[in-house]
Amino acid sequence: MLYEIQTYGKDVLRTDTKQIPEIDDSIKQIVSNMFETMYAAEGVGLAAPQVDKSIRLFVIDLSPLEENEEKRVFINPEIYAFGEEKGEYEEGCLSLPTIRETVTRPTTIRIKYQDLDGKLHDEAVDGFLARVIQHEYDHLEKTLFIDHLSSLKRSLLKKTLNKIASGEIEVEASENFEL
């Protein structure tokens, strides 16, 4: 089942998210639907708040872009360390259709999370995966990539943001958004 992707202006994107106490069938169903929704929208990641669920879960699949990559599920993630080095990358977000801006973030992180079997992982991550993990983790923290921009850049985006919030800009699944 495809979920509707929630875009800028929806309260759920600015709502606290809850830890997932138990990975039951309903969570597994949500994960499956999130992958389906992410692929249909041609995104590389998707966080639960983007599909109207205020829980601490996101999915990522970089396999269309990178060799040796596979689907990943991050449940109750915690980024507990950031490297010193920063990098720039032009980000997009399914919740901010038509907007692309350069965002500066740490290039390496350390993250703890549970997988779909509840197994705990503790990993050091770098490269594009570290970038996308931070973007998705931000969604769980009620943060969007535009929050990382200078106030000047953000004011230049105001009109577009108002159009997104008023529904004037909509995304046809799999159109308009490319990596």
Residue nearest to ligand GNR (CB): 43
47 lies in the site for ligand GNR, by CB under 6 A? yes
Nearest 5°: phi and psi at 41?
-90, -5
Binding residue count for ligand GNR, defined by CB under 6 A: 17
129 lies in the site for Ni ion, by CB under 5 A? no
State which of residues 59, 93, 99, 129 lies at the interface with Ni ion (CB under 5 A): 93
Exposed e or buried b per residue across 82-91, where buried means at least 16 C-beta atoms within 10 angstroms of its C-beta: eeeeeeeeeb
Least Å from the CB of residue 8 to Ni ion: 10
Residue in this structure with the two tokens 């389906």, named with its chain if needed: 36
Least Å from the CB of residue 96 to Ni ion: 7
* Nearest of 120, 34, 134 to residue 83 by alpha carbon: 134
Whole-number Å distance between alpha carbons of 41 and 59: 13
Catalytic one of 66, 91, 101, 136: 136
144 lies in the site for ligand GNR, by CB under 6 A? no
Whether 141 is a known active-site residue: answer: no
Least Å from the CB of residue 119 to Ni ion: 26
Three-state secondary structure call for residue 86:
strand
The one segment of 10-18, 90-98, 119-127, 157-165 that binds ligand GNR by CB under 6 A: 90-98
Burial category of 123 from C-beta neighbours within 10 Å (exposed 0-12, middle 13-18, buried 19 and up): exposed
Q: Tell me if 132 sits within 8 A of 109, measured CB to CB.
A: no
Whole-number Å distance between alpha carbons of 16 and 125: 25
The one segment of 28-36, 106-114, 131-139, 159-167 that binds ligand GNR by CB under 6 A: 131-139
Least Å from the CB of residue 44 to ligand GNR: 4
| Tokens linked to 21 | 């106490």
105 lies in the site for ligand GNR, by CB under 6 A? no
**Residues in touch with ligand GNR (CB under 6 A):** 43-47, 50, 91-95, 131-132, 135-136, 139, 179
Which residues belong to the active site? 136
